[in-house]
Structure 1
Amino acid sequence: MTRTHTDQIFCPQVLYKKRDCPFLFPETVRTSRSLIQVVTRGSIVTLGLLIVLGTLGVSITPLIASRGITSLAVALALQPTLENVFSGIQLVTDKPVRVGDFIELETGEQGFVEKIGWRSTWVRMLQNNTVILPNSSLAQSKIINYFYPEKELSVPVEVGVHYSADLEHVERFTLEVARKFLISHGWGVDDYKTLVVYTSFGDSRVNFTVMLRVKEYFNRFWVRSAFIKALHQRYKAEGIVIPFPIRAINTSQESAQIQVPQAEP
């Protein structure tokens, strides 16, 4: 069976395996090796040429001076590129993001890190397009890494019950449903200690939050959906009411006396 990128979006464990095995991603290694080889060969050839010229009695001082000026001009012209190169080295050494990580950019875009090169980093968006970021921009921006320091993620679920409900019973039934759900569901963290925290008094209900935990970032959508259905079914069986929004409208108004002016004779 051929895996599409859609499979990678909903089954990101494929990317985890690649991230954990760097040899499956030889792009960065090949790029690094090629760049190092080019720089090394160029330096050796230049040094050898200068030695040969010096042996032949040719004054190499003007050549060195002109080469220094040329190098300075080239360095100024390549300043953005060099900045990206050193930022790429910083990303590789500090590892704020790694190949296979799911990140959120400062602009709000989300995607998988596909490649970290010397000049740019490639991020595959959920829409199956790719954003190519200069390493300098990525190194200086704020990034949310949903796979660091671990893959597990807490999922808050907001719930509300009627004011007439017994809150102790509500908490007990909710915890029972949540714990059984995390154990039985393949994407839930079964050893997580579920929490129920009452947060506020609403217009027509008492609000609280149920804390769940999932194994991976993308599991949160399906786990939250399945838990809401399971909790609604249990509340219905126990007679716990989730109220509709209630608004009291006062329509009584004082009758206004309208005086009609009489026409002059």
Structure 2
Amino acid sequence: MQANEATQTATEAAPAAAPVSDVTQIINNLSAYLPDSWQPYWEQIQSIPLLAFVVVVVLGYVVAKIGVAIFSKSLTQITKRTKSDVDDQLIETLRRPFFLTIFFFFLGMAVKTVGLSPALESNLIRVLASILVFSWMMRGFKVLHLLLKSLSSLKDKFELIQPKTIPLFELIGKILLIGLGSYILLVIWGINPTAWLASAGVIGIAVGFAAKDTLANLFSGFFIIADTPYKVGDFVNLDSGERGMVTHVGMRSTRLLTRDDIEITIPNNVIGNAKIINESSGRWEKSRIRIQVGAAYGSDVKQVCEVLEKVAKAHPDVVKNPAARVRMRAFGASSLDFELLAWIPTPVLRGRIKHELHMQVYEAFNQAGIEIPYTKQDLYIKEFPGKASSGLADAGQAASE
């Protein structure tokens, strides 16, 4: 009967002790890791708990130092073949957690030699394991930053990872590392993580609904930066009518500087769903302008073309390659319609160059004797109202007589 009760008690206590056993099963017995020839010496040292504790701690420190030295030297030999210093920084970053992992392993075994109560012993080992998890998690943040920074320099292979998208990837990576570290800590301390994961899911849904606009702008900014429909310095036109130079592309908004020197801030969620005309994109940054002009019927069309081409060639800001050209577009109601097509270096010069070309075309047409027609209306008066009224008066007087 007593045996059955003892068995039942051990069975009930097993689930509570399972997490502790998972953490401490590797460090329960130091003698299992020693050669047979060392066993007698260890038994003598173990008879003095404080001495055994000090010996194991010192041994752990020495082994940890040797292990870190071997780890660093071995990887340094490999990283010498690379030109980047990122791998050297990674080795330097991982030195401390690697040292702590080995040292805490021996420190846990040293705790087992002191002869503390099982509850206190388990809690101390849990504390050591928690410190180790925190150490790896903090170093993981730095490793993540170094890797993202390195990948952002390889734009040809990793287009999504750019200097401006690093904060987003770093935020996602940190959240994942914190989640993983929290899960391990819960397991170490014997806490069931299922309820916590369910609570985190509910909180995540609530936060998502509360910050849906912010998240929409954030993800739109990420895809804008990754897809690069425009970049800083480009001149863009939006379907809502805004036109200007892009001065800033952020994760939340895009800023345009208009020709009136007014800065417009547009949320990325709006601009991400808008039709964008990028005047600075295409094969090159050059932009084409069109000068429409009419010549009177009877004008020499070849002369008109020569005059327009000459005006374009004479302008210093008109691009020589591709060369400007003239096209006759239509027979208008009162004019022959021509169009001068010229290329300019950047879209920002569009307004000034069009103004100058219009003035120069007008002067060149005047010098060449080419008439620029305009709408004319001739009014013919069949009879003046004064004469008509006097005639009616004379007819009335004759009838009365």
In the superposition, the TM-score normalised over structure 2's length comes to 0.51
Q: Please, which of 192, 210, 214 is the counterpart of residue 344 of structure 2?
A: 214
Q: Per-residue deviation at 1:188?
A: 1.0
Q: Per-residue deviation at 1:171?
A: 2.3
Q: Would you say the 8 A contact 1:153–1:217 is kept in 2?
A: yes
Q: Would you say the 8 A contact 1:181–1:227 is kept in 2?
A: no
Name the residue aligned to 1:160. Answer: 294
Equivalent-residue separation in structure 1 for 2:243 and 2:195 (angstroms): 54
Equivalent-residue separation in structure 1 for 2:365 and 2:259 (angstroms): 36
What letter corresponds to residue 167 of structure 1 in structure 2?
V
What letter corresponds to residue 371 of structure 2 in structure 1?
V
Q: Per-residue deviation at 1:261?
A: 10
1:78 and 2:208 matched? no
Change (3 A) 1:35 1:174: closer
Q: Please, which of 348, 364, 377 is the counterpart of residue 234 of structure 1?
A: 364
Q: Per-residue deviation at 1:263?
A: 11
Equivalent-residue separation in structure 2 for 1:128 and 1:175 (angstroms): 34
Q: Would you say the 8 A contact 2:296–2:335 is kept in 1?
A: yes
Equivalent-residue separation in structure 2 for 1:172 and 1:217 (angstroms): 26
State how 1:35-50 maps to structure 2 within 5 Å. 35-50=168-183
What letter corresponds to residue 79 of structure 1 in structure 2?
K
Three-state SS of the structure 1 residue aligned to 2:347 is coil
- Structure 1 regions of 5+ residues with no counterpart? 1-21, 23-27
1:91 and 2:91 matched? no
Change (3 A) 1:194 1:127: closer
Structure (1/2) with the larger helix percentage: 2
Equivalent-residue separation in structure 1 for 2:247 and 2:363 (angstroms): 42
Change (3 A) 1:137 1:260: farther
State how 1:79-228 maps to structure 2 within 5 Å. 79-149=212-282, 150-178=284-312, 180-182=313-315, 185=316, 187-228=317-358
Three-state SS of the structure 2 residue aligned to 1:241 is coil
Three-state SS of the structure 2 residue aligned to 1:144 is strand
Q: Would you say the 8 A contact 1:121–1:132 is kept in 2?
A: yes
Aligned pairs, how many?
A: 233
Between structure 1 and structure 2, the one with the greater Rg is 2
Equivalent-residue separation in structure 2 for 1:263 and 1:32 (angstroms): 101
Shifted more, 131-140 versus 165-174: the winner is 165-174
Q: Per-residue deviation at 1:90?
A: 1.5
1:250 and 2:380 matched? yes
Q: Would you say the 8 A contact 1:53–1:60 is kept in 2?
A: yes
What letter corresponds to residue 252 of structure 2 in structure 1?
R
Q: Would you say the 8 A contact 2:308–2:361 is kept in 1?
A: yes
Three-state SS of the structure 1 residue aligned to 2:291 is strand
Change (3 A) 1:41 1:128: same
Q: Per-residue deviation at 1:176?
A: 3.2
In the superposition, the TM-score normalised over structure 1's length comes to 0.75
Q: Which has the higher contact order (CA 8 A, sep 6+)?
A: 1
Identity among equivalent positions (%) equals 26
Change (3 A) 1:260 1:229: same
What letter corresponds to residue 377 of structure 2 in structure 1?
R
Equivalent-residue separation in structure 1 for 2:262 and 2:358 (angstroms): 32
Change (3 A) 1:162 1:126: closer
Three-state SS of the structure 2 residue aligned to 1:118 is coil
Structure (1/2) with the larger strand percentage: 1
